[in-house]
């Protein structure tokens, strides 16, 4: 019997589908790579989807469940309204169901697709994904609000959030490096440009030249549509430039800049300036994140369609 804990990596294993669906991982990789080749924004989308899944009820694909008349699901919570990549998981799942009906979970499909999407740039797997997750049957918007880290968070709020998931300050800094790819809407950081303390001021911890550049993109506090690259000059490349930029006070979010306000996390940022070091640490932290509160064995279910619970 497994005692429910924050981290149950011990129940996940390599090649969980070796006998039940031998082609599962190959199918995920093939479809993911075909779609990423067409749309280079998908690695950031799928990585974020996986992260937002794992931080709410663990990595159980609860983020994929659609709301019903009497239940507002995670995906309709404010922090999740800008999530993308759902259709990729649906396409992969349709193929998996054709090949091996009822065998491969949506949670594993998402974990594998996120890895394969980011890895496409390198043509080799960037981290190991253990499998055997099962799908949750509950998805509540209120839990997404309560559990997802906010781009406005300070260091103490961030570390509390990560520790509640069994992750460390090291994981917090390393996983923030996912901001090396993708973009963000202006309203998630424009307070740093125009009204940081409520007096129409700018965040002094933001590089002034970078702030001036951001102001040319985000013209006012009310801009909710414009998007800006999170890693200036390198937003399509998965690399360590996020940490290099961060040291130069060019982190986009308050939650990025917050990593420089604590002695330990600031030191870790300094140790991740080279891509080879970042990749090694990211592989370890992703493995830990991918094991948060996983459902295994007889828990949960294997959803037929990722957006709908079976029963």
Active site residues: 52
Query: Cβ–Cβ contacts within 10 Å for residue 242, how many?
Result: 27
Are 122 and 62 spatial neighbours (Cβ–Cβ below 8 Å)?
no
3-state secondary structure 252-291: CCHHHHHHHCCHHHHHHHHHCCCHHHHHHHHHHHHHHHCC
Alpha helix segments (H runs only) across the chain? 24-38, 42-54, 86-99, 106-119, 141-147, 155-163, 169-176, 191-194, 208-217, 241-247, 254-257, 263-271, 275-289
Are 251 and 205 spatial neighbours (Cβ–Cβ below 8 Å)?
no
């Amino acid at each position: 019997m497994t005692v429910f804990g924050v981290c149950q990596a011990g129940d996940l294993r390599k090649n969980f589908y070796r006998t039940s669906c031998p082609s599962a991982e190959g199918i995920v990789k093939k479809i993911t790579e075909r779609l990423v080749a067409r749309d280079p924004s998908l690695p950031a989308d799928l990585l974020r989807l996986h992260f937002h899944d794992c931080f709410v009820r663990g990595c159980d694909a609860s983020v994929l469940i659609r709301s019903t008349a009497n239940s507002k699901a995670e995906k309709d919570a404010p922090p999740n309204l800008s999530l993308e990549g759902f259709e990729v998981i649906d396409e992969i799942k349709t193929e998996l169901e054709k090949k091996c009906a009822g065998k491969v979970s949506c949670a594993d499909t998402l974990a594998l697709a996120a890895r394969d999407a980011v890895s496409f740039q390198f043509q080799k797997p960037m981290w190991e994904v253990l499998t055997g997750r099962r799908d949750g049957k509950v998805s509540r918007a209120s839990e997404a609000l309560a559990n997802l880290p906010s781009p406005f968070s300070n260091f103490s709020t961030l570390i509390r959030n990560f520790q509640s998931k069994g992750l460390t300050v090291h994981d917090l800094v390393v996983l923030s490096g996912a901001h090396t790819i993708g973009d963000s809407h202006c309203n998630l950081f424009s307070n740093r440009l125009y009204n940081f303390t409520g007096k129409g001021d700018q965040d002094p911890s933001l590089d002034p030249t970078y702030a001036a550049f951001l102001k040319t993109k985000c013209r006012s506090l009310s801009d909710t549509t414009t998007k800006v690259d999170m890693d200036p000059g390198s937003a399509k490349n998965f690399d360590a430039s996020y940490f290099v930029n961060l040291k130069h006070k060019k982190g986009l979010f308050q939650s990025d800049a917050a990593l420089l306000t604590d002695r330990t996390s600031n030191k870790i940022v300094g140790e991740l300036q080279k891509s080879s070091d970042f990749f090694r640490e990211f592989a370890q932290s992703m493995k830990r994140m991918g094991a948060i509160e996983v459902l295994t064995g007889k828990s949960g279910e294997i959803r037929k369609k990722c957006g709908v619970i079976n029963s």
